[in-house]
Homo-oligomer: A and B are copies of this chain.
Amino acid sequence: MHTVKEAAQITGLTEHAIRFYTDKGLVPTVRRSEHNVRLFDEQSINWLFGVRCLKQSGMPIEAIKTYIDLCLQGDPTVPERSAMMKKHGEEARRQLEEAKRHVAHLEEKMLLYEEILAGKTPDTTNPATWERMRYMHGDVFYASTVLQEK
């Protein structure tokens, strides 16, 4: 049995957030001690992980609440729950693809900066490089004397 503090350490959520979630009914298995202290067993911890996953992958709290309420109703709601997870899974995959693109973009930018710091002048004779710099990393060279005009 874990307290809020421990649950926070385990899940990486804040105590505030955990109280917030339990109060909203997102952790149906949480219990209280005789002195009103929230007690999380392993199952509750796992609900927390589930909520964290859904939330961090972009599902609004209200939708998470809806999903959890469906879970509590048992088998008859399986089709609906399945549909929800399928839909949200697609959304999460879209976000993952975006995230990959963002990381790639940032990595290119970092490489350019590293080269400049290393004293290298980017190879502007390579049209591909030139295009990339001009169109994707104009910020790196904005107001720059490293890359002379033309």
Contact = CB atoms under 8 A, between A and B. Distances in A.
Interface residues of A, number: 54
User: Copies of this chain, how many?
Assistant: 2
A82 interface: yes
A143 B113 contact: no
A93 interface: yes
Contacts of A82: 110, 113-114, 116-117
Main secondary structure, interface of A, reads helix
A28 B110 CA distance: 21
B106 A71 contact: no
A36 interface: no
A136 B52 CA distance: 12
A58 B144 CA distance: 27
A3 interface: no
